[in-house]
Amino acid sequence: MSEQMDNRAVQRHVAAEWRKPDLREGFTTGACAAAAAKAAARALLTGESLAEITVDLPARQGVTFHLARCEIGSSSVLCGVIKDAGDDPDVTHGAEIQALVAWQDARGITLAGGEGVGTVTKPGLAGEVGEPAINPVPRRMITAAVNDEADEAGVNLNRRGMLVTINVPGGAEIAQQTLNPRLGIVGGISIIGTTGIVKPFSDSAYRGSIYVELKVAAENGVRQAVLTTGSRSEAYAQARYPNLPEMAFVQVGDHMDYALRQCRRLKFPQVMIAGMIGKISKLAEGRMQTHVSRGGVNMAFLADLAGQLGADAALVARLQTANTARHVQTMLNKAGIAGLEAQLAQLAARHTHTYIQGALVIEVLLYDIRGDLLAAAQEPAE
């Protein structure tokens, strides 16, 4: 998930792909940009067209990229690399990452964003407002690749420099499937990647997206973060809080633990958590990482709570073998026993509040699948 994807797209794939062995790795947009820039610089310096180029990436040496194009002009060269994301559900997979390298009167290397590369419009991102959305590591990779070619050719770029413009044809359309519009990156995708390698379905990539969203919200004055477990709970929370900006809502999936720690680190005064009974029941047990690989819904826990609410021994026994948390709700509704959702919301608020050591106000919202709010509970900051 190297591009900062809309988490809706991520969640559609993760459940099916999580346990597949031997998933194929891919390359980041930053790696492709560096390869294209290196090839274009070499062709500009030698006048020879290339079919492939080998570059060193932060995480891997000697990676060869095939070129989709190498077009030599009178004072510039345009090279392109087709982005291969491996088996990761990356929306930039198949996009052509281009580098146009041209001579310039200014000394050194100037890096610019062209067609399909976004522009930063809000603080909190890796680049400054007004700059192209090319992150620091890709900037260094591109600059180093061009410098290496100049050194190899014996060209002193302090006398006559090079302008490197990164283009992504169709990047503006691709960006609509990513988090970029929400983050304040307009006009295209981001050129990103710290290692050059895309790890399929990487937890670190998903958490990185969560952090970027929260950081942008914090640095743009948002004081309430709404952490949701998926797209439906996000839509329900947005309907409840219509006055909050879009950037306040962050889909964290199963990574509530990480998101809560970042909310504390970024000093949000208040966090709202929105989800349905399955995920909220895990938080109510104190399980802050809710992926099924860490265990499913604990039916015995739900049955015990039902017993505290008045369920008889026979019903408690049946609840322990329920298929899903919603199945538990159905059986309790038929028995006329209310209050499970309120208990779960209160316990979830208490456990998440304890997890972040009471540093901020926690509110938990428990919805049903239709969007009806079944319970809400709040724990104040200490």
Backbone angles phi, psi at 178, to 5 degrees: -110, 180
105 and 78 in contact (C-beta within 8 Å)?
no
Q: Is the pLDDT of residue 371 over 90?
A: yes
C-alpha 77/C-alpha 47 separation (Å) is 9
Break the chain into its structural domains and give their ranges: 7-198, 208-379
- Interhelix angle 299-308/325-335, rounded to 10 degrees, is 20
Percent share of the chain, pLDDT over 90: 74
pTM of the predicted structure, to 2 decimals: 0.73
Q: Is the pLDDT of residue 199 over 90?
A: no
Q: Is the pLDDT of residue 31 over 80?
A: yes
7-198 carries CATH number 3.40.50.800: no
Q: DSSP readout, 49-98?
A: --SEEEEEETTEEEEEEE-SEEEE-SSEEEEEEE---TTS--TTTT-EEE
Q: With bands split at pLDDT 50, 70 and 90, how would you rate the model's confidence at 7?
A: very low
pLDDT of 302: 95
- Interhelix angle 29-46/136-153, rounded to 10 degrees, is 20
DSSP state of 249: E
Q: Which whole number is the average pLDDT over 53-81?
A: 96
pLDDT of 291: 67
Report residue 337 as tokens.
């026993």
Strand 60-66 to strand 52-57: parallel, antiparallel, or no bridges (unpaired)? Answer: antiparallel
- pLDDT tens digits, residue range 129-148? 999 999 999 999 999 999 99
C-alpha 164/C-alpha 300 separation (Å) is 61
C-alpha 149/C-alpha 281 separation (Å) is 57
What is the rounded (10 degree) CA torsion for 253, 254, 258, 259?
Answer: 30
Q: Which whole number is the average pLDDT over 311-340?
A: 93
Burial category of 155 from C-beta neighbours within 10 Å (exposed 0-12, middle 13-18, buried 19 and up): middle
**Alpha-helix runs per DSSP H in the chain:** 7-17, 29-46, 136-153, 171-175, 180-183, 203-219, 231-240, 256-265, 277-284, 299-308, 313-319, 325-335, 340-355
pLDDT of 89: 77
pLDDT of 5: 45
Q: What angle do CA 232, 17, 85 make, to 5 degrees?
A: 100
Quote the mean pLDDT of the chain: 90
Q: Is the pLDDT of residue 48 over 80?
A: yes
Give Cβ neighbours of residue 274 (< 8 Å, ≥ 6 apart).
226, 227, 228, 229, 233, 234, 236, 237, 240, 365, 367
228 and 240 in contact (C-beta within 8 Å)?
no
Altogether, the residues listed in the chain come to a count of: 382
Neighbours of 317 (CB within 10 A): 12
